[in-house]
Chain A
């Protein structure tokens, strides 16, 4: 057992909420440690559609959540412009939707504080010519596209700058209880297998869909319903505006243009365990069919990848269906609720409201600690991680919102065409190297940092290149060729998992080309006996499991 780490607050979970909490704690001068069993954003944060909600989606069914979204929409635009693309959003009434809902929608937007304006259908079609011309009404709201990977890394970077410690690939094995008080945790370093006790005044459980599992370690029951949402990324931005169906929230009714793709989502299926779920062919077909209603010809675009995230829906009462569970969040003080001191859980909520959730949780902890420093997370600009702009003084350049042409403009400014490791996503060698330097534990981590391997070729070229760069960069610090081979094999499998649900047409052809490259040209499968986890990497552990689970 390693030496005990002492801190004020241990935050469990490296998603948007956990990273937001640890930043807020650190900015108030509270000592904080964050532990995450995988990489930052390894859970739901890295698997959502990338929508900064205006709140419009919830105005009728979940007005409180709508108001929270509307508030945070303004805040996030201020503090993380580099993570957001100002796409705007349309709520459209299609022939399949109740035409009377339009007036209800507008009235409820006004009640909940969600800015809304009806625009003529002709204007909407002029701005988005691929939209179904049979739509009858269009309402514009301030939706935007969000890079949840980048936002979380920016929060983590800010937290570190304020003195917090962030430990990824550290899994909570047990919570330490002394009488009626939680006094810390034992975490396992997945890189080394070593266990380490952490003692703290408070454990803040921000584990999202896994919050129930963490709370159970202290003997406390928190019912989190893992609501699986499946999404499909299409190889085109057939729209540049977020498109929502103007109806009560249902499956397959949001289309988000983000970076070079458009993501359609989602389904909502209750799964028993946030770690065990699959993607069903009929889910994919359903979303293609729904996409067709918004954009005729939708299913003839190339589907790049499907994935699913599990919503952390907090259930404190009986509701008819999981979609009816409120999307608002809840702070649970287990001292009041269960008689167990030293433990708080922040559950439910949405990516859009992560900062507000963090503020409320940290306000409570600060009060208990007697810390009176006010929250500043809504005022202070988030820093830009080095993976975005290596070799630059990121803060010296004026901070603009993300725009679609930005990656290309960066490459052109840098004359970096010859340095592209991932041509699909315009990722340069310098950015890959920065991601490796920032502590990537496998190639999937590099993907989350710089989007390498997320384009049409799904890693055909960049997996080899990135693996080789990883080896060259980390060889001196003990990484072996066998560790590198393990990373390559792990990532090939990781990509395959998201591909199988959408393999037809050009994407099937692409998969076969990737097989030609890695089996035919490279003989990657012949290196299995020369592959092993190590060298600071995590490539063979349940926390980064790559098994495709059939539901």
Chain B
């Protein structure tokens, strides 16, 4: 089958690009080794960890760093992409709150407050300014869930001047006897009998403690989270909000599913389990990519390609033991900050991050990959997301924002 566009990578950037292409009527294949890093992230949309107004800060950043992915993508692509994402989430019954012009702070599973911009409605009641209204908050979890510990969260929130207490809930009788990860809990919460048992415990705690709201691990349903939260609120007699757990992150899974469903509805095709080994082309035009699944090679043809394979975490970039960084799918040249001796800061949590994680593929303002001499390597390839050089999305707090802006832009070109 011939495609108009093949998107490599099923993270946020790849999904946005694939959706944009499919909605323009193209035949689109989303080809990926597996799910992207979306499943490991908070499920919130971080735009930039810089002050109260991320959109304004992005404008300034783009002016100061013309090679930053935000500068190359432009704010129009960012804003349009965010709108499309919101609509997809809305359609999935999982609305996102917030505005690109305003950062809010949400509690983490450690009880730190981290800035983000758009957030699922299921997390809204945990926003820091609401927590600071003087009324008490209960943080509740389960001994069986090892990825969320209420006492430490509540104690750290108290240390930051917020009125929070902690409790563990009893696990209602279920068929399972052991191994309760976030996804298992998320499915349990979609059951009415399970919610009834939890709601009852919460109601008692709320009555006794006078809590205005209850923070729970972000495992409140997979596909019906908004409904689950609404139901728990009614049962508990208090607002309920989610706090992301250790991965697997259920809110990340929900984001993936909302975009995945929108892409399928637009006629797109998804093929997971295929690792792209290399590409073939001539005269700076890529014509075929070769993937491998179950030790069998497969050739895929298309008019254009979007490379959204991620950075080091996503698997799009890989270093070997001799200190060479490679782009794993097409073998594009990688722009890296010096040799291995300069890759890492002495401290893990160094404010500036580790130089290696600013490495990536240099692109032009059409997001086309550039070779070492600055010439366009492939005219019909656009690069999106964390594979692009010139930014450390985790440290800069722009992981989702850069993915959406560049992904959407790659879908428009």
To the question of whether A and B form a pair in one complex, the answer is yes
Shortest B107–chain A CB gap in Å is: 9
Quick check: is A192 within 8 A (CB to CB) of the other chain? no
Shortest A284–chain B CB gap in Å is: 8
Quick check: is A461 within 8 A (CB to CB) of the other chain? yes
B41 touching A467, Cβ below 8 Å: no
Interface residue count on the B side (C-beta < 8 Å): 54
Partner among A418, A472, A525 whose Cβ is within 8 Å of the Cβ of B349: A525
Which residues of A have CB within 8 Å of B235? none
A512 touching B312, Cβ below 8 Å: yes
Q: Which of A417, A518, A523, A527 is most buried by chain B, counting CB atoms within 10 A of its CB?
A: A523
Given contacts A472-B149, A504-B320, A516-B37, contact A492 B340 (CB under 8 A): no
C-alpha spacing A489/B110, complex, angstroms? 12
Q: Which of B112, B149, B319 is most buried by chain A, counting CB atoms within 10 A of its CB?
A: B112
Pick the interface stretch among A66-74, A216-224, A478-486: A478-486
Partner among B149, B320, B347, B356 whose Cβ is within 8 Å of the Cβ of A505: B320
C-alpha spacing A509/B220, complex, angstroms? 29
B146 touching A465, Cβ below 8 Å: yes
Contact with B along A441-468 (1 / 0, CB 8 A): 0000000000000000000010011011
Partner among B156, B247, B346 whose Cβ is within 8 Å of the Cβ of A481: B156
B109 touching A521, Cβ below 8 Å: yes
B349 touching A493, Cβ below 8 Å: yes
Smallest CB gap from A493: residue in B: B348
B41 touching A485, Cβ below 8 Å: no
Which residues of B have CB within 8 Å of A475? 151, 155
Quick check: is A548 within 8 A (CB to CB) of the other chain? yes
A516 touching B114, Cβ below 8 Å: no
B156 touching A512, Cβ below 8 Å: no
C-alpha spacing A450/B83, complex, angstroms? 49
Which residues of A have CB within 8 Å of B144? 418
Shortest A462–chain B CB gap in Å is: 9
B394 touching A516, Cβ below 8 Å: yes
Quick check: is A277 within 8 A (CB to CB) of the other chain? no
Quick check: is A522 within 8 A (CB to CB) of the other chain? yes
Quick check: is B343 within 8 A (CB to CB) of the other chain? yes
Shortest A544–chain B CB gap in Å is: 15
Given contacts A417-B178, A481-B152, A530-B156, contact A521 B312 (CB under 8 A): no
Which residues of B have CB within 8 Å of A519? 349, 394-395
Quick check: is A513 within 8 A (CB to CB) of the other chain? yes
Quick check: is B321 within 8 A (CB to CB) of the other chain? yes
B146 touching A421, Cβ below 8 Å: yes
Interface members, chain A 415-444 (any B CB < 8 Å): 415-421, 429
Shortest A291–chain B CB gap in Å is: 11
Contact with A along B309-327 (1 / 0, CB 8 A): 0011101001111010000
B244 touching A418, Cβ below 8 Å: no
Quick check: is B180 within 8 A (CB to CB) of the other chain? yes
Interface members, chain A 513-540 (any B CB < 8 Å): 513, 515-528, 530
Quick check: is B3 within 8 A (CB to CB) of the other chain? no
Smallest CB gap from B346: residue in A: A548
A513 touching B40, Cβ below 8 Å: yes
C-alpha spacing A527/B114, complex, angstroms? 10
Given contacts A509-B315, A516-B41, A523-B110, contact A281 B394 (CB under 8 A): no
How large, as a class, is the contact surface on chain A? 35 or more
Contact with B along A291-302 (1 / 0, CB 8 A): 000000001000
Shortest B125–chain A CB gap in Å is: 19
Which residues of A have CB within 8 Å of B313? 509, 512-513, 515-516
Partner among A471, A493, A509 whose Cβ is within 8 Å of the Cβ of B152: A471
Which residues of A have CB within 8 Å of B108? 521-523
Shortest B144–chain A CB gap in Å is: 6
Shortest B182–chain A CB gap in Å is: 12
B321 touching A505, Cβ below 8 Å: yes
Quick check: is A547 within 8 A (CB to CB) of the other chain? yes
Given contacts A288-B321, A504-B323, contact A461 B246 (CB under 8 A): yes
Partner among B149, B155, B344 whose Cβ is within 8 Å of the Cβ of A480: B155
Smallest CB gap from A482: residue in B: B159
Which residues of B have CB within 8 Å of A21? none
C-alpha spacing A259/B344, complex, angstroms? 29
C-alpha spacing A285/B321, complex, angstroms? 8
Shortest A140–chain B CB gap in Å is: 32
C-alpha spacing A515/B349, complex, angstroms? 8
Shortest B164–chain A CB gap in Å is: 11
Shortest A109–chain B CB gap in Å is: 36
Interface members, chain A 275-321 (any B CB < 8 Å): 281, 285, 288, 299, 303
Contact with A along B147-176 (1 / 0, CB 8 A): 101011001101110000000000000000
A521 touching B247, Cβ below 8 Å: yes
Quick check: is B179 within 8 A (CB to CB) of the other chain? yes
Quick check: is B113 within 8 A (CB to CB) of the other chain? yes
Quick check: is A403 within 8 A (CB to CB) of the other chain? no
Which residues of B have CB within 8 Å of A469? 149
B246 touching A464, Cβ below 8 Å: yes
B112 touching A471, Cβ below 8 Å: no
Which residues of B have CB within 8 Å of A512? 311-313, 357, 394
C-alpha spacing A484/B177, complex, angstroms? 31
C-alpha spacing A55/B158, complex, angstroms? 58
Shortest A485–chain B CB gap in Å is: 7
Contact with A along B341-357 (1 / 0, CB 8 A): 10110111101001011
Quick check: is B42 within 8 A (CB to CB) of the other chain? yes
B340 touching A526, Cβ below 8 Å: no
Contact with A along B9-50 (1 / 0, CB 8 A): 000000000000000000000000000010011100000000
Which residues of A have CB within 8 Å of B112? 522-524, 526-527
Given contacts A480-B155, A522-B109, contact A493 B178 (CB under 8 A): no
Which residues of A have CB within 8 Å of B346? 547-548
C-alpha spacing A509/B178, complex, angstroms? 30
Partner among A461, A485, A520, A525 whose Cβ is within 8 Å of the Cβ of B156: A485
Quick check: is A325 within 8 A (CB to CB) of the other chain? no
Quick check: is B111 within 8 A (CB to CB) of the other chain? yes
Quick check: is B363 within 8 A (CB to CB) of the other chain? no
Which residues of B have CB within 8 Å of A417? 178-179
A481 touching B155, Cβ below 8 Å: yes
Quick check: is B249 within 8 A (CB to CB) of the other chain? yes
Quick check: is A500 within 8 A (CB to CB) of the other chain? yes
Given contacts A496-B347, A516-B313, A527-B156, contact A464 B357 (CB under 8 A): no
C-alpha spacing A303/B321, complex, angstroms? 9
Shortest B234–chain A CB gap in Å is: 29
Shortest B156–chain A CB gap in Å is: 5
Which residues of B have CB within 8 Å of A461? 146-147, 246
Contact with B along A250-287 (1 / 0, CB 8 A): 00000000000000000000000000000001000100
Smallest CB gap from B324: residue in A: A504
C-alpha spacing A503/B321, complex, angstroms? 8
Which residues of B have CB within 8 Å of A513? 40, 313
B positions within 8 Å CB-CB of A = 37, 40-42, 108-114, 144, 146-147, 149, 151-152, 155-156, 158-160, 177-180, 244, 246-247, 249, 311-313, 315, 318-321, 323, 340-341, 343-344, 346-349, 351, 354, 356-357, 394-395, 399
Known: A522-B109, A523-B112. 10 other contacts (CB 8 A): A418-B180, A464-B109, A464-B110, A464-B149, A464-B246, A465-B147, A496-B348, A505-B318, A515-B354, A517-B247
12 residue pairs from A and B, CB less than 8 Å apart: A281-B340, A420-B146, A481-B111, A495-B348, A504-B319, A505-B318, A508-B356, A513-B40, A517-B40, A517-B246, A520-B399, A530-B156
